[in-house]
Structure 1
Amino acid sequence: MNYSEFQLDPRLHAAIEKMGYTQTTPIQEQTIPIILENKDVAGLAQTGTGKTAAFVIPLIERILKSETDPTHARAFPDWKPFQCILILVPTRELADQINDNIVKLADGTGLKSFAFYGGTGYEKQKEALKNGLHFIVSTPGRLIDLYKEHHVDFKRVRAIIFDEADRMFDMGFKDDMKFILGRVERTRQLLVFSATLNFEVHNTVYQFGSEPVEINISRDQAKAENVKDAIYHIGNEDKPAQLLSVIKRVNPKQVIIFTNFKNNVDRIAHFLSANDIPAMGLSSLMNQTQRNNVITKFKEQNNLNVLVATDVAARGLDINDVDLVINYEMPQDAESYVHRIGRTGRAGKDGLAFSFISEKDVDSLSRVEEYTKKKIETQYLEDAEIVKDFKPMGREDFSFKKSFDARPSNGKGPSRGGPRSSGPSRDGGRPQAAAPRSNPQRSENERTGGPNGGPRREFKPGAPNTQTNGAGSGQAAHSKAVNGSKPAQNKFKPRNSNTEKPNFNKAAQSQIKPAAVVASKKSYRKGGSTSDSAGSTIKNFFRKIFG
């Protein structure tokens, strides 16, 4: 379908042609007319399908009609100055991408847009709001901060868009989304776009009084037909050589390498750079300035350029010249696989996507093939094509870890099929406090052999086993130490470091094991074997107990 059939404002139509758009994509063809009719939309579409333009184009058209022809059916009823469109996204990169598209599509219209997120100048953002905006593109956290400081008035929002809503839920923005929706007028237009319209997304939409028109771009349409994907069955230890070999064989213009481990990003990038393949890393461990610099360099360089990234870090990247995607590890969920390979084959160009499959990736591969309804081709490298002389990768390659030690960068936890978090535990990784001691001095005496300490005394299994009130000599020596007197022998009660742990509980202190038990610990006295002596002592002990 041609954009001219929508009969858009001439200024908007000129901007669309300037961007090189002529024909609509399936999501645009179905979504634009519904938004122009002021209806709510819940769209199921992957990245790379043109969904950003699917909601930006009709919203620009509606604002232009509101300002030039308020009675037009496409106009927002009773549009006033300083009213705006609010677009919420999960990541900073996606905010920048959408804002860039708005600026280009609104060229020559006088409409203003600005991206808001943490890690950038706060004063500049406040100044932009003060001057008035038609589009606010923001991550939830920064928007709520601005709202609480009275820089944003949610009552002026005429339409609200949640882009990649499923990812926002996965990243923990559910409460923020509800907070914002609860403060926006119910008469607003609500547009939700997601790769998966799961129960939580549906429930949130209906909870706030919306009955959207659902638009479902099928999986076959979502997966670009001009992307050829293939797999290589290979062990983890052979991945570095395979990575070099594939890149040198294909000789691509730009490459994105995905890894499930944020700690693996720099390791892979350094490995490639050390082997004469320029590479940069992009992960959540970087601050916003560093991330922006990496993305800018990756977009600007025209020579061989490799970007190593996690799912979350690469979310929202829109780079048309990427002709190869490599999955260094297979993603745990099928949706992330489609997102990854969607980084190539954009703007009508052909692309390649290769995945390294180790033994632990077999289940993930099955889920992807079931999701895409397509058997992925298996490829092999000839022995002559494999690079054998190269500088090795650092030994701490996190891909060698078991899958349950991993965390995907798509933000999903173990319950959703993703690798586990590598972050701190619920206690924040802090060392736990020891159990309180009723008598610290007593415990110290037990540990060191008396209040004055001193060297550990060697325990001799052959020593006399004199009984005192039914207890062994070890108990007698311990009783003297507790009472403060210095025992003549056996200051220190030996314990087996492999099986016994010090217990400072009062009840435990009253139960002292006989000396024969601890005699099972090997003695390292000089000369001869002690196994017979220790064994004999144990036998004597059990004879005394059981007769």
Structure 2
Amino acid sequence: MGFEECTPIQEQSIPIILEGKDLAGLAQTGTGKTGAFLIPLIERILRAQKGEGVHAFSNWQKRHCVLVLVPTRELAEQVKEACQTLVEGTNLSSVSIYGGTGYDKQKSALKNGVEFVIATPGRLIDLYKDNCFDPGQVRAVVFDEADRMFDMGFKEDMKFVLRRIPNDRQFLVYSATLNFDVLNTAYQFGAEPVEVSISRDQAKADNVKDSIYHVGQEEKAQYLLSVIRNRQPQQTIVFSNFKHNVEKLAVFLSRNGLPAMGISSLLSQVQRNRVMEQFKNENQMNILVATDVAARGLDILGVDLVVNYDLPDDAENYVHRIGRTGRANQEGVAISLVSDRDVEALQRIEAFTGVKLEALWMEEEDLAKDFQPLPEERELKTFSKSRSSNSKGPKGKKPQGGDRKDRSGGKPKSGKPQKPNQKSERSDRPDRGDRNDRSEHRDRKRGRKSDGPGKKSAPKNANKNSKKNANKKSSVPAKSSSKKSLRFDPNKYGKKTESSNASLGKKVSGFIKKLFQ
């Protein structure tokens, strides 16, 4: 598998986990945290299956398992892939459980029994409520990227799971930044973790060189294009704080000769998996634009450049972002574009890491010129439609009316297509003007006699009704005009006569005389 020596976090963690103790590990991303807990846990299961007492799970049964909880789907897949590599050649198996994928497939895997369950909290709780997952079978629980789980609002879900697993389980928690909430939750549920941590000044990897460019907000796109063109990296990840900027930046780079893909929560799980597979293949699509959703769970050795289009508000997220490069002790570069909007975030990052970031200067000749600007929203919709239409296969020729198959599955009907005014051979349905039989049927239902096609018959009580109507007409006076009568006469109420004006004048003059008497 290419392992030659343990990383510092692995060297400190493996002996403690083999002894069955609880552990709280703090290490920057990309230092082998996944192997730090998987390797000793696999060893403990294999020893238990062989009946060896030393470093083995006690009373390990066939239905027992190790539960690994992660915050994102991408991280679940990464841990599963690492687990499959490590258990190759053994009888151990694993399953990744998260939303957006086949529910029945996950239920089937749990029913058949697996040793490692790698899950996001939401989908795991759904399976528990559906009686597909038994937390009583858990012998060890691992919270990977625990601080991120708290940031994403999984605190109550984590407690929900911990309340239902046995008290004698082994408790492991790993994070790039271990905060008070994480440790408090561990102690609250009876864990007594041994703390394995790295000092604050080692919070970010030493093999990642990070620096900044001071730019205006409107200059960021130009500098982003210039940085990638000048450095010509093998693989690049561009981070933005806003998911609506992801596609905009991907389209911008693609239009300027740098093929890019975007990944954010706006994509479905199937689309996200497809994007990640394309990016990992190291083809011409070697630029990935992402939000912090993708900052966790990306383990790609070829990423040699990370660009922060926006600085994250949380300094811990900065550590996770730049940790996508410089994996496995390789050299990496992280560049941040800092405008006046990012000044406060920059201060928090420098205070957290304890390092003042180097400010670079780009010469005028190195700046990109004559490039396509950032697309507008309406352009994004057009681009998305054209891209989706190009991804589909060629459309087949639409069959003619007479060539379509019968819905019952028979052979297609032969013959020329029918003309618009031609009647169908399937029925003798008349045109709309020839449907007199309907009125006859309606008259018969109402008890009327038909006088033949096209004629309306009078009802049975026609004579009585005619007499009543005649009496009513005689009692109502005839209208002198064909116009519709109004409820009131406008001349009667709206027009003032001379007599009314005179009487009004007398009243006013009388009132004035009395007033001055």
Question: 2:352 aligned with 1:371, yes or no?
Answer: yes
Corresponding residue for 2:204? 223
Matched ranges for 1:243-282 at <5 A? 243-282=224-263
Corresponding residue for 1:413? none
Question: 2:161 aligned with 1:174, yes or no?
Answer: no
- 2: CA distance between counterparts of 1:334 and 1:21? 32
Corresponding residue for 1:351? 332
Aligned residues of 1:112 and 1:134 also touching (Cα < 8 A): yes
Corresponding residue for 2:131? 150
- The structural deviation recorded for 1:487 is 11
Residue of structure 1 aligned with 2:268, choices 287, 306, 321: 287
- 2: CA distance between counterparts of 1:26 and 1:314? 22
Aligned residues of 1:252 and 1:304 also touching (Cα < 8 A): no
- The structural deviation recorded for 1:224 is 1.6
- The structural deviation recorded for 1:169 is 1.2
Which residue identity lines up with residue 244 of structure 2 in the other structure? N
Residue of structure 1 aligned with 2:369, choices 371, 388, 404: 388
**Number of equivalences:** 381
TM-score by length of 2: 0.72
Corresponding residue for 1:57? 39
- 1: CA distance between counterparts of 2:330 and 2:293? 24
Q: CA separation of 1:304/1:288 partners in 2, compared to 1, >3 Å: closer, same or farther?
A: closer
Which residue identity lines up with residue 318 of structure 1 in the other structure? D
Matched ranges for 1:406-425 at <5 A? none
* Cα deviation code 1:218-244 (max 9, x no counterpart): 234342211111100000111111111
Aligned residues of 2:66 and 2:117 also touching (Cα < 8 A): yes
Give 3-state SS (helix, strand or coil) of 1:347's partner: helix
- 1: CA distance between counterparts of 2:331 and 2:252? 28
Which residue identity lines up with residue 22 of structure 1 in the other structure? E
Corresponding residue for 1:161? 142
- The structural deviation recorded for 1:395 is 4.7
Residue of structure 2 aligned with 1:327, choices 308, 316, 323: 308
Corresponding residue for 2:179? 198
Aligned residues of 1:227 and 1:353 also touching (Cα < 8 A): yes
Corresponding residue for 2:102? 121
Give 3-state SS (helix, strand or coil) of 1:316's partner: coil
Give 3-state SS (helix, strand or coil) of 2:335's partner: strand
- 2: CA distance between counterparts of 1:343 and 1:248? 20
- The structural deviation recorded for 1:304 is 5.8
Which residue identity lines up with residue 301 of structure 2 in the other structure? N
Between the two structures, name the one with larger relative contact order (CA 8 Å, sep ≥ 6): 2
* Cα deviation code 1:78-130 (max 9, x no counterpart): 11111000000010000000000000011111110010001111111111112
- 2: CA distance between counterparts of 1:255 and 1:196? 24
Which residue identity lines up with residue 6 of structure 2 in the other structure? T
Give 3-state SS (helix, strand or coil) of 2:329's partner: coil
Q: CA separation of 1:82/1:392 partners in 2, compared to 1, >3 Å: closer, same or farther?
A: same
Corresponding residue for 2:222? 241
- 2: CA distance between counterparts of 1:197 and 1:219? 11
- 2: CA distance between counterparts of 1:369 and 1:239? 21
* Cα deviation code 1:159-202 (max 9, x no counterpart): 00111111111111111111110010000001011222222212
- The structural deviation recorded for 1:331 is 1.2
- 2: CA distance between counterparts of 1:395 and 1:86? 45
Aligned residues of 2:236 and 2:303 also touching (Cα < 8 A): yes
- 2: CA distance between counterparts of 1:487 and 1:172? 72
Give 3-state SS (helix, strand or coil) of 1:319's partner: coil
Corresponding residue for 2:291? 310
Which residue identity lines up with residue 254 of structure 1 in the other structure? Q
Aligned residues of 2:278 and 2:285 also touching (Cα < 8 A): no
* Cα deviation code 1:305-351 (max 9, x no counterpart): 10000012332110000010000011112111111111001122111
Aligned residues of 2:226 and 2:368 also touching (Cα < 8 A): yes
Percent sequence identity over matched residues?
A: 60
Which residue identity lines up with residue 68 of structure 2 in the other structure? I
Matched ranges for 1:398-437 at <5 A? none
Which residue identity lines up with residue 359 of structure 1 in the other structure? D
- 2: CA distance between counterparts of 1:61 and 1:119? 32
Aligned residues of 1:49 and 1:222 also touching (Cα < 8 A): no
- 1: CA distance between counterparts of 2:202 and 2:43? 27
Corresponding residue for 2:475? none
Which residue identity lines up with residue 67 of structure 1 in the other structure? Q
Aligned residues of 2:210 and 2:358 also touching (Cα < 8 A): yes
Residue of structure 2 aligned with 1:68, choices 29, 50, 56: 50
Give 3-state SS (helix, strand or coil) of 1:74's partner: coil
Corresponding residue for 2:3? 21
* Cα deviation code 1:241-273 (max 9, x no counterpart): 111111110001100000000110000000000
Corresponding residue for 1:405? none
Corresponding residue for 2:168? 187
Give 3-state SS (helix, strand or coil) of 2:361's partner: coil
* Cα deviation code 1:427-464 (max 9, x no counterpart): xxxxxxxxxxxxxxxxxxxxxxxxxxxxxxxxxxxxxx
Aligned residues of 2:64 and 2:137 also touching (Cα < 8 A): yes
Give 3-state SS (helix, strand or coil) of 2:245's partner: helix
Corresponding residue for 1:112? 93
- 2: CA distance between counterparts of 1:178 and 1:204? 8
Aligned residues of 2:259 and 2:284 also touching (Cα < 8 A): no
Which residue identity lines up with residue 205 of structure 1 in the other structure? A
- The structural deviation recorded for 1:303 is 3.7
- The structural deviation recorded for 1:134 is 0.4
Q: CA separation of 1:383/1:83 partners in 2, compared to 1, >3 Å: closer, same or farther?
A: same
Give 3-state SS (helix, strand or coil) of 2:174's partner: strand
Deviates more, 1:273-282 or 1:44-53: 44-53
C-alpha RMSD over aligned residues: 1.6
Question: 2:25 aligned with 1:43, yes or no?
Answer: yes
- The structural deviation recorded for 1:396 is 6.3
Unaligned ranges ≥5, structure 2: 379-492, 496-517
- 2: CA distance between counterparts of 1:277 and 1:367? 32
- 2: CA distance between counterparts of 1:184 and 1:73? 24
- 1: CA distance between counterparts of 2:297 and 2:29? 8
- 2: CA distance between counterparts of 1:29 and 1:298? 32
Q: CA separation of 1:302/1:50 partners in 2, compared to 1, >3 Å: closer, same or farther?
A: same
Question: 2:59 aligned with 1:78, yes or no?
Answer: yes
- The structural deviation recorded for 1:394 is 2.4
- 1: CA distance between counterparts of 2:250 and 2:132? 41
Unaligned ranges ≥5, structure 1: 1-17, 398-485, 489-547
- 1: CA distance between counterparts of 2:28 and 2:331? 18
- 2: CA distance between counterparts of 1:146 and 1:487? 78
Q: CA separation of 1:195/1:314 partners in 2, compared to 1, >3 Å: closer, same or farther?
A: closer
